Amino acid sequence: MKKLPIVCSLLLLAAFSFFPACEVENCPPNALAYAQFNFVDQYGRSVEYTDTLTVIGQLQTADTLIYDTLINKSTKTSTLSLPLSYGDQTRFIFQYGNRQRDIITVNHRNIPYFINLDCGTMMFYEITSAETTTRMLDSLVITNPNIDNYEKENFKIYFTVTAANE
């Protein structure tokens, strides 16, 4: 009789080892999709914005504008990873150290992607159009309109850069 609790415990442990309770290890390590922006000069070479850069996300609800600081006073910036909203338009305000601002507006289609019951759903995006003001930026080009949880370039932001010896 004294061995009955030990035998029952071993049988119970063996039964649970055949039925895993959760498959969280099958979830992707990065379940968020970010838009990747690369800074380039007029020749397509990577450049670094050395002054401070603040990026503010702007979301418009039915009657209110909501602002959220996504990147605060970054220096030596050459790439950005920014989240998109669950609406069909996302607006980013680039605040430069010299107080000038550019606004990037990205129109997109949201694509819910179901992984499994344990991991839930991720949101992917398809960029339909994008535009920018040109105070400090020269232009904006969509290089890959599909945004998912794989980090890859989606936009090139062109700056006009003059050489130091010119």
Q: Look at residue 26 and give its three-state secondary structure.
A: helix
* Residue 157 to residues 56, 100, 121, Cα–Cα distance (Å): 16, 16, 30
Measured in whole angstroms, the distance separating CA 140 from the mean position of its chain's CA atoms is: 17
CA 23/CA 117 separation, integer angstroms? 9
pLDDT at residue 23 is higher than 90: no
**CA 121 to chain CA centroid, nearest Å:** 16
Q: Which pair of tokens denotes residue 50?
A: 């050395």
Output the pLDDT for position 103: 95
DSSP code at position 99: S
Q: How confident is the model at residue 147 (pLDDT cuts 50, 70, 90)?
A: very high
Per residue in 88-110, pLDDT (tens digit) is 899 999 999 878 999 999 999 99
Task: Judge whether residue 15 has pLDDT over 60.
Answer: no
Measure the CA–CA gap between 34 and 148, rounded to whole angstroms.
7
The helix/strand/coil state of 146 is strand
Give the per-residue pLDDT at 104. Answer: 96
Provide the mean pLDDT of the chain.
83
Q: What is the average pLDDT across 7-34?
A: 60
Please state the rounded mean pLDDT for residues 118-125. Answer: 84
pLDDT exceeds 50 at position 121: yes
Listed residue (122, 143, 160) closest to 45, CA to CA: 160
Within the chain, where are the H helices?
4-18
Map residue 41 onto helix, strand or coil: coil
> What pTM value is reported for the model?
0.76
